[in-house]
Amino acid sequence: MSDYIQTALVTGAGNGIGRATAIALAKSGRQVSCADIKMDDAQRTADAIKQQGGTAHAVSADVGSISEIEAMIKETLSVCGSLDIIVNNAGITRAAYIMDLTEEDWDRIHRVNAKGVFFCLQGAARQMIEQGLGGRIINIASIAGKGFSGTSNAAYSASKGAVISLTRTAAQQLARHDINVNSICPGVTTTEIVEKLSVDRAKAQGITKEEMMKEMSKDIPLQRANEPEDIAAMAVFLASDGARNITGQSFNVDGGLITS
């Protein structure tokens, strides 16, 4: 098994946290399947990994569709030969007051953030069990799922709370197969999603985007928002041998914003 190269599948790998995580996992010696609903974005991440001497493959997938999840895993196995790590990162949101959320908002957000994570987890676990080598499942949740008041909206918070709960139950039930399941709960992170949220909030409050980003960061004890690489570093650790006895946990990476 000394020549065995682990395969990591990262969803939402085209930008932000997903892109940073895919690149970091490749640097740690894994071959990476970069999945994104936008194939061009997935390919750009895969190309960046290759340019740095890593091994990567791009695959298009809408994780809200079970058939596309199945196809994504099948293609990953066909190209890479195994599936040892999955980072369930793909997610969506929008800025909205609780009284303005619609049924369409709820269904759209939960389709990706909750349903998508569950069926990606289940599909990956099925393959890991078949391989008999254990595995690592890393879900990207949010401190919004733990009650952070600065969340984009209540439906998003509920979807991320579902991910945290799913992580605990899946860890308990998959432990017999030596599959570790953990989640990472980012705080304010400088991604395209957060930038769009800051623009929307800035317009609503009549201030600049820069002023809004300062406002969003002012309560962080360490006085800085996350870079995507901060989340990627935690994902690489949870995929490492150093985390072999850690499972069912939800780790905040938020500069100290919340302590639970």
Active site residues: 156
CA 115 to chain centre: 14
Helix, strand or coil, per DSSP, at residue 222: coil
Count CB neighbours of 106 within 10 A.
16
**Residues ≥6 apart with Cβ < 8 Å to 70:** 123
CB 35 within 8 A of CB 59: yes
What is the residue type of 22?
A: A
First-residue to last-residue Cα distance in the chain: 39
Give the strand order in the sheet containing 31-36: 56-60, 31-36, 7-11, 85-88, 135-140, 179-186, 250-253
DSSP output for 102-154: -HHHHHHHHIIIIIIHHHHHHHHHHHHHHHTS-EEEEEE--GGGGT-TT-S-H
Residue in 144, 232, 146 with CA at minimum distance from that of residue 188: 144
CB 45 within 8 A of CB 23: yes
CB 8 within 8 A of CB 218: no
